Structure 1
Amino acid sequence: AAMAAQCRLTARFHHVHGANVRLDASRTRATRVESFAHGLCFSQEPLAPGQIFLVEIEEKERGWCGHLRVGLTALDPQHLQPLPDDSLPDGPGPHSHILDELYRTNVLPPTARRSRIGVLYAPQPDGTADMHIVINGEDMGPSARHLPTTRPLYAVVDVFASTKSVRVIPVEDGFPSLQTLCRVVIQKHIVHRVAIDGLDLPAPLKSFCEHE
């Protein structure tokens, strides 16, 4: 019961956030209202070992280069005012550039609206931790190693550039949507998105696979 309560507390954003971010009343949706930067957000509470902080991309914005970033920080957001534009000066780092590489290699489409991206840390025998990025239910493996665990670790979400709005997904709802899973399977079996148009699929699903 205590762990469930912790998960519910963590499954929303901290009240401290970047200057261009607006949170909804529940603090579960973060929207960058102008520019491309100053979009940093944090988990309400530090993460427990192995606990995922998961967000879903709700809105995209054309015209910017760059995408959503996630990561961990050992800095307490309460003491981070004013916030930097898109980086933090501590060891674990504010975000993992593994996402940038995945966009570059087209593993994650740049317009991946409704994709779910999470971050967690896994304690290691030497007393440090590895950071893992999870994309649509798939653990991408350690993206940072030897993170210190002497201080609590908060999730960081940078609502950056072409990512306009994200929503926190409670852990119990944290599996990929069926629509997203269908898209992943379809895109794995075609050479180019243009080929989707010739498949015997419902028009809305074709559109989702081609353009989202």
Structure 2
Amino acid sequence: MAARFHRVHGANVRLDRTRTRATRVESFAHGLCFSQEPLAPGEVFLVEIEEKELGWCGHLRVGLTALDPQHLEAVPEYSLPDLVNMGDTWVFAITRNHNRVVVDGEEARGPPREPFLCIERVRIPRDVLVGRSRPGRYSHILDELYRTNVLPATARRSRIGVLYTPQPDGTADMHIVINGEDMGPSARHLPTTRPLYAVVDVFASTKSVRVIPVDYGLPSLQTLCRLVIEKHIVHRLAIDGLDLPPPLKSFCKHE
């Protein structure tokens, strides 16, 4: 599993001791990060935007690269165009409309509601893929906006993932996932003869991101309890009034 950042990163990036949080400490560039390990087919590398910084134009960039970070002579200043120009790299600025390969005859889709995100043969619990607000008076309204994916794609606490799916011709398609919604193939015909690492560029107005671990198995009993409780409350502050153990309350509030 690749659920933390590589030791090799941009000059302005600082990682926490677990290497799951990356913060750009100055300027607006030199924010490149990579996954610690290559991704397995269908494995999503998921990050949550923790901090934003006013005064800069541009947002988070994500993608995949077949370049081994350990063998880079120097980490480029930018993912676009510097890292991409080095070859075997596919990176996109996170927007809702400009990172998708359009398929002829494809129809618009409504907001996703199924408990699992299915991308070809990949099946991922949607609960972990969707961003959530901090518990508060209006959290029930904000949480619905995350679930229906109508907030800006790079809003604070949005969750952005990248993965690849093998194709019959021996290549792979790259998919970007925003708050539990698959944006469709962002790039096609990626080679699978070399390992593919996730790329996260903590660029411009995005200041800090955190890696979110993803469990691909059946939901735990705690998760199932949380889903039931969420269906019967107006907002997460109501959880404090329930007769539940404090650790379960914190878990249900996503703290």
1:111 positional shift: 5.6
Q: 1:111 to 1:76 in 2, by over 3 A?
A: closer
Q: What is aligned with 2:50?
A: 58
The normalised TM-score by structure 1 is 0.72
Post-superposition Cα deviations, 1:141-181, rounded to whole Å, max 9, x if no partner, equal 100000011100000000000000000000129x9xxxxxx
Structure 1 partner of 2:88:
91
The structural deviation recorded for 1:107 is: 5.5
Q: Any unmatched runs of 5+ in structure 1?
A: 1-6, 176-200, 205-212
Q: Distance in 2 between matches of 1:123 and 1:69?
A: 22
Separation in 1, partners of 2:96, 2:193 = 30
Q: CA shift at 1:92, angstroms?
A: 3.1
Deviation readout 1:61-114 (Å, 9 max, x if unpaired)? 000000001000000000113111112112232x124x24549xx955166000
One-letter code aligned to 1:128: T
Which has the larger share of helix?
A: 1
- Equivalent position SS for 1:78: helix
Aligned-pair identity in percent equals 79
Matches within 5 A, 1:101-140: 102=97, 108-109=151-152, 112-140=155-183
Query: 1: distance between equivalents of 2:182 and 2:12?
Result: 30
Partner of 1:4: none
- Distance change (3 Å), C-alpha of 1:110 and 1:146: closer
Q: Distance in 2 between matches of 1:18 and 1:51?
A: 24
- Distance apart, 1:11 and its partner CA: 0.3
Larger radius of gyration: 2
Q: Which runs of 4+ in 1 moved over 2 A?
A: 100-103
Tell me the C-alpha RMSD between the 2 structures: 2.2
| 1:64–1:162 contact (8 Å) kept in structure 2 | yes
Q: 1:163 aligns to what?
A: 206
TM-score when scaled to structure 2? Answer: 0.61
Q: Which runs of 5+ in 2 are unaligned?
A: 99-148, 220-233, 238-255
